Structure 1
Amino acid sequence: MMEIRHLKLIREVAETKSLTKAKDALFLSQSALSHQLKEIENQLGTQLFHRVNKQLILTNAGKMVLESAERILQDLEKTEMSIKKYVSGTSGTLRLATQCYTCYHWLPSLMTDFNKEFPNVELEIFHSNDASVEDQILDGSIDLAIIYENSDRQNVDYHELFRDEVFALVPAGHPWTKKSFVEAQDFQDQTIIIHSYPLESVSLFSQLLIPEGVSPKKVMQVQVTEAVVELVKAGMGVNVMAKWIVEPYLQDNRLALVPVTKRGIHRTWHAATLKDEKRPQYLENFVQHLRCNIGGLCCCTN
């Protein structure tokens, strides 16, 4: 079977038309090159070069081998260059997911800054809004996940980004607007609009309602933030979300935010990556861009 060293020999001899000249480029003795050439020709059962006026000229069979050699070696060289760029952290693909869809609004501005530093890094976005996001890290489906609840997986690194607080979103004039804060029992007779299941992944439930043993009248799942806002305005339910996401919708004075419990409901956001893996530089830098671009701003409507 022909090997890479054979293909390199054919290419170099075809270019220089001489074993003497080819030996310097291949760092082999002339006798070693002669032996390798005979080895290839015996293997193929045909001559690859004619001797013409002390020069080695390709036969038709040799031309066929050279054509394949150039294609294969060019592909290998491109692959080697791509791997070197990946290892050095200058190019590659970063596969990203978050625990909630509303996080993606900050992505364009973040990528503008990140792309200036790493123009050859592609970003692929995976929509995953439940506990499976850590499984995706572990099985190699994604490279980085932005999460606000983690299960301390053994092989996952959690890079702390920031903390935020969620508030109850209600229509203007709702009885809760007269309260300094609401507690678990206040949600018992309410329709609660959530972004996604399971309930254990929703901060209101995991931090307050489930521990207090409180079940709301109804739970409604709506994944689009604008639709959540309109349903709350219409008095169809209440929602709990961080302040930044709803601020643009507060301008018409049809909505209000109310703190949840005296101490508040807070979340710590992390960027999750595989533990103990030699990560490319662009992945490390992306975590820093997350801290700079969304620190204190990114949140979910859960």
Structure 2
Amino acid sequence: MLGRFHLEVLAAIKQQGTLTQAAESLNLSQSALSHSIKKLEGQLKVPVWQKEGRNLRLTAAGERILILANRVLPQFQHTELLLSQIARGEMGSLRIGMECHPCYQWLLKVIEPFLQKWPEVDIDVKQEFQFGGLGALHSYEIDILVTPDPLFTPKVAYLPVFDYEHRLVVPASHHLAKQDFVIPEQLSDEVLFSYPVEPQRLDIFSQFLNPAKCTVKKHKIIETTEIMLQMVAAGRGICALPGWLVDEFASTLPIKSLRFGKQGIKKQIFLGMRKDEEQINYLSDFIAQARTSG
């Protein structure tokens, strides 16, 4: 039936006036152009043009199609231009999904220089996903996923951007603050603050307490890093955070960080993206910037 090609043909006929010139403007042969329109007329059961000597004149049906062509073709052309610019990294949008609550402070270091370099690229940060971060990436809700726990699939590439150690944070006055590391049994009487994440996804449970069949006295949820560390500094409880983040606050708050066990908990931050988009300029540049900001 009626398609974009037919709209382009009738627009060229109206503009050029003859079949020869219309075919040349579309880089087609006259026979191919004529055959396609005859086939369309057979489907529509109405002629769309008439010959007047060497010239062609659109019929009433052809003029109606031309109205559609004049309205739709510029939208096609504009969208193709935008897509071409996006492919060259000249403009677009970057939607970042976060599965790492404490990484917001790190992300700010990456976003500031990125926005200066790519003024026509908009950034949005998302945290709530209907089917989780990986599902959001697969369904094109986000373009990059920041996560310490990648779920590898054939269509997603995960690139490590920096390593860190997950550490226990206690008040500077706490009896554990004199130790270099802590063992699971020592946390049985503690109040643990954490971000609003399922306990099974918290490393302090999955990699430290649960394997030792231990737990804490109470588990409380706090959404913001600053309030969480203020509560710890005030002696209200303990928390577990990336070592690099604790170091940023340790100079202004009376807190101390300890290793989980003698070996500690080693982690990495990954950026996940769809494999068919790895070559988009501003996406690859964001990843390069992220690697230098770790």
Residue 23 of structure 1 aligns to a residue whose secondary structure is helix
Residue 114 of structure 1 aligns to a residue whose secondary structure is helix
Asked if the contact 1:41/1:48 (under 8 Å) is kept, the reply is no
2:95 maps to amino acid: R
Structure 1 CA distance for aligned equivalents of residues 131 and 268 of structure 2: 15
1:81 correspondence with 2:107: no
1:181 maps to amino acid: F
Asked if the contact 1:161/1:291 (under 8 Å) is kept, the reply is yes
**What corresponds to 1:190 in structure 2?**
190
Asked if the contact 1:193/1:220 (under 8 Å) is kept, the reply is yes
**What corresponds to 2:221 in structure 1?**
221
Asked if the contact 1:96/1:126 (under 8 Å) is kept, the reply is yes
**What corresponds to 2:276 in structure 1?**
277
Distance 1:158 1:38, change over 3 A: closer
Asked if the contact 1:129/1:196 (under 8 Å) is kept, the reply is no
Residue 168 of structure 1 aligns to a residue whose secondary structure is strand
1:242 correspondence with 2:236: no
Matching of residues 107-146 of structure 1 within 5 Å: 107-128=107-128, 132-146=132-146
Structure 1 CA distance for aligned equivalents of residues 119 and 237 of structure 2: 44
Report the alpha carbon displacement of residue 267 of structure 1 after superposing the two structures with TM. 1.1
**What corresponds to 1:298 in structure 2?**
none
Structure 2 CA distance for aligned equivalents of residues 134 and 29 of structure 1: 48
Residue 277 of structure 1 aligns to a residue whose secondary structure is helix
1:6 maps to amino acid: H
Structure 2 CA distance for aligned equivalents of residues 140 and 2 of structure 1: 30
Asked if the contact 1:130/1:198 (under 8 Å) is kept, the reply is no
2:181 maps to amino acid: F
Asked if the contact 1:88/1:280 (under 8 Å) is kept, the reply is no
**What corresponds to 1:72 in structure 2?**
72
**Structure 2: segments with no counterpart, 5+ residues:** none
Report the alpha carbon displacement of residue 17 of structure 1 after superposing the two structures with TM. 2.9
Distance 1:156 1:66, change over 3 A: closer
**What corresponds to 2:8 in structure 1?**
8
Distance 1:188 1:4, change over 3 A: same
**Structure 1: segments with no counterpart, 5+ residues:** 296-302
Seq. identity, %: 26
Structure 2 CA distance for aligned equivalents of residues 36 and 264 of structure 1: 70
Q: For 1:201-228, what per-residue CA distance to the aligned partner results, in whole angstroms no more than 9, with x for missing partners?
A: 2122222111111111111111111221
TM-score relative to the length of structure 2: 0.81
Asked if the contact 2:46/2:61 (under 8 Å) is kept, the reply is no
Asked if the contact 2:193/2:238 (under 8 Å) is kept, the reply is yes
